[in-house]
Amino acid sequence: MSTPLKLVAFSKEQPARLLTIYLIEQGIQAEYQYSENDYAHAVMLLDSSEQIRAKTLAEEFVLNPSNEKYQKAAWQSGETVKLIPEKSFSAAKTLYDLKQAPFTSSILAICLLIYLLAMVGITAPYLWLKIQPIDVLVDSGQWWRLLGPALIHFSVLHIAFNLLWWWSLGRQIEITFGISSLLMLFVFSAVVSNVAQLLVSGANFGGLSGVVYALVGCVWWLGWLKPNWGLTLPKPIVVFLLVWLVVGYLDVLPVHMANTAHLVGLVCGCLFAWFLVTKSKNSNVQ
C-alpha cells in the first residue's frame, strides 16, 4: 500500500463525502479527510496505482456532481453523507464568523451604523457619501463618492435585503478567496454600477444592491465554471433574483429601483468570476 495521495479537495464537505463513497463503490480505495484550510475537505486515494482511473471518475463528478448515481451509490452502500454538525447559535460562534470574514463584517457594520444614525436625525454621512455628477467630482476631487451610494440605505426592507445577501455571499467569497478578492469585487462593482446608474438616472439613489448582484453573478458563474470550488447558488434563487431584476425594469413596483446598478453589478460579478478562474489557471490551482 502506497502513501495516501490527495485526489481532489473541496471547500464543502458534502461533495467530498459523496465522491469518496462513489469511488469505494467502484472498487477504488479512498477516504475522506478534513484539514484546516480553504479547501478543507479532501478525497484521499489510498493506492496510487489506481490514480488514473480515480482521476477520471473525479473529473466526471466535478462536471456533474448532482448526477443521481452518486447519491444512489451512497444509498447502496448503506451510508448517509454525515456532515460535520453546525454549532448552535452562540456569541462565540458569531464572533468566530465575524473574525473569519472581517471585510464582510466591516461593510455590514458601516451600513448599519450609517442607517441607524440617519434614523435618529444624523444625516451627515448621507450627505458626505452621496454621489455627485462627474463634472462636480472632477472639480471637488471627492472621488470616494463613487463608492458612497453602496453604503447608504433608505428603508428597513432595503437594508435588510441587501445586508442578508451581502453577509451570506460576501462571507463565502472572502473565506474562499481571501479579503483582497472581496475588496476588489466590492470596489469594482460599486464604482462601475454607481457610475452607470448616475449616468442613467442622476445622483438620487443609494444601496448595496449593485454590489449584491455582483456577488450573485460571481457565485452563480463560479458554480458553472468551477463547481469543485464548492460555491454555488440554487437555481430557484438565481431565477428569483433575475425575475426581480426584470420586474424592476417593468416599473410596476411602488418604489423606484436602481435597475441599471443591478444589471451592471450582475455583469461585473460574472466578469470577476471569469477573472478568478483565469487567475487560478495561471497559478495552476485546481
Active site residues: 209, 262
Alpha helices in 31-101 (DSSP H): 51-63, 68-76, 91-100
Q: Using CB atoms within 10 Å of the CB of residue 10, give its burial: 0 to 12 exposed, 13 to 18 middle, 19+ buried.
A: buried
Which cell numbers hold the place of 48? Answer: 496510487
Long-range contacts of 263-267 (CB under 8 A, 24+ apart): 263/213, 264/192, 264/193, 264/196, 264/197, 264/210, 265/189, 265/192, 265/193, 265/209, 265/210, 265/211, 265/212, 265/213, 265/214, 265/217, 266/213, 266/214, 266/216, 266/217, 267/217
Phi, psi of 87 (to 5 degrees): -70, 145
Amino acid at site 188 = F
Closest Cα to residue 191, out of 259, 137, 145? 145
Residue 6: phi and psi, rounded to 5, are -70, 120
Contact 269, 221 (CB under 8 A): yes
If we measure between CA atoms, which residue out of 236, 235, 237, 230 comes closest to residue 212?
237
For cell 448517509, what's the residue?
80
The cell 478562474 sits on which residue?
Answer: 277
